[in-house]
Chain A
Amino acid sequence: MGAVALLIGIGIYCLLTMKNMVKLLIGIEIIAKGITLALVATGLAKNNLLLAQSLVISVIVVDVAVIATALAIIININRHTKSLDVRKLTKLKG
């Protein structure tokens, strides 16, 4: 479980500081890894591994869909701004 916290921490650090859009997605992917590890670890502790694995499989499928959509959006943004820099996305102001 300690590793889970570490992984999630690393992922959040990546999201907070990285400026490249694809790196941000890598950050989300790392957080997802941490959570799947958490699910399996708690399943192991509760001796309910089959349920945990079913949940992990669903989570991985969802993760794929989200990342595919995000990459599609990034590729489209790249067509507009010709760069992968998140700092360029400032057209909408709060």
Chain B
Amino acid sequence: MHLLLMIGLVVFSILSVLIRDLLKAAISLAVASIFLAIIFFRMNAAYAGVFEVSVVAGLITVLFITAIALTRSDEQVRESKYHLFIFPLFFVALIIIDILVMKNLLGRIPAITSPETGTFGEVLWKERSFDLIGQIGVIFAGVLAVLALFRPRSKSPQGDKHE
């Protein structure tokens, strides 16, 4: 079951890269996110799964679709046709390297386990409080960036001042 989910995740990611139509690619990305969220749930990481679904499969997909709707392309962006044959080669090579390397590498990682303490709420609020400040900062940065980039432009007579 685990393996099926992983395969689903990888397949939909590949689809979102190779599909030409942007909308379908964005939706494929959202489906991949849902697979990832299910994987998280099965790994016993419920909070990560919830966040993944609500934010990545939700908010980011909405952002993508908004951007796709707000932009128009005068001509289709022509991607080369060689994708259809180069990518499978690349992918198979990747899988082979992956299998060879991972078996070696994972064998060496020793299993030091430390005991889990507290509930999630405690860990997030008490231990990682500094992270919360960072998150607030990043959210402000994103909001202010979007505000600054979409500010109403005054018609300046000089146009492009920099050469």
Contact = CB atoms under 8 A, between A and B. Distances in A.
Q: Is any CB of A less than 8 Å from a CB of B in the complex?
A: yes
Interface of A: 1-3, 5-7, 9-11, 13-14, 17-20, 22-23, 25-27, 29-30, 33, 36-37, 40-41, 43-58, 60-69, 71-76, 78, 82-85
A10 B55 CA distance: 22
The interface size bin for chain B is 35 or more
B74 A82 contact: yes
B22 A23 contact: yes
A55 B127 CA distance: 11
Given A50-B118, A71-B63, A71-B67, A45 B111 contact: yes
Contact of A22 (B60, B68, B123, B135): B68
A65 B13 contact: no
Contact of B113 (A6, A20, A47, A75): A47
A54 B98 contact: no
The DSSP consensus for interface residues of chain B is helix
A33 B116 CA distance: 25
Identify whether the interface residues of A are mostly helix, strand, loop, or mixed: helix
A60 B51 contact: yes
A10 to B, nearest CB: 5
Contacts of B71: 22, 74-75, 78, 84
23 contacts: A2-B102, A6-B98, A10-B14, A10-B17, A10-B91, A17-B86, A22-B67, A29-B29, A37-B36, A50-B123, A51-B123, A54-B124, A55-B128, A56-B45, A60-B52, A60-B55, A61-B139, A65-B141, A71-B64, A74-B71, A78-B72, A78-B73, A83-B75
Contacts of A25: 64
B28 to A, nearest CB: 9
B1 interface: no
A36 B48 contact: yes
A85 B79 CA distance: 10
B142 A65 contact: yes
Contacts of B13: 7, 10-11, 30, 33
Nearest to A6: B10
B128 A54 contact: yes
B109 A69 contact: no
Contact of A48 (B25, B72, B116): B116
